[in-house]
Amino acid sequence: MSVAASMHAKLTDVFEPVHLAVVDESRLHAGHVGARPEGETHFRVEIVATAFDGISRVERQRMVYRVLKDELGDRVHALALRTLSPSENS
């Protein structure tokens, strides 16, 4: 399974998001520190879930980081995050 697919699956499992996009932006960072020729190092994740209701921004990102701990520790060099509750997304 690709890194993107595995992140997508884990986030779907834990957060049951109403919207989730895992975008591989590695090509934009080719040649930068942390980039690899095979890609899948730089991601952007947008996630909208009721689990974020009433949770601070910092804590929301911590929740996502915890779920993606394995990916962040190993393959993924950069992860840009946008975490919203459904009411903020309207």
**CA atoms of 15 and 13, how far apart (whole Å):** 6
Instruction: Quickly count: other Cβ atoms within 10 Å of residue 89's Cβ.
Output: 14
Q: How far is the CB of 12 from another protein (least distance, A)?
A: 21
4 vs 43 by CB, closer to another protein: 43
Give me the sign of the Cα torsion angle 62, 45, 6, 4.
Answer: negative
Using CB under 8 A, list all residues that contact another protein: 29, 32-33, 57-58, 61-62, 65, 69, 72-73, 78-82
Q: How far is the CB of 76 from another protein (least distance, A)?
A: 10
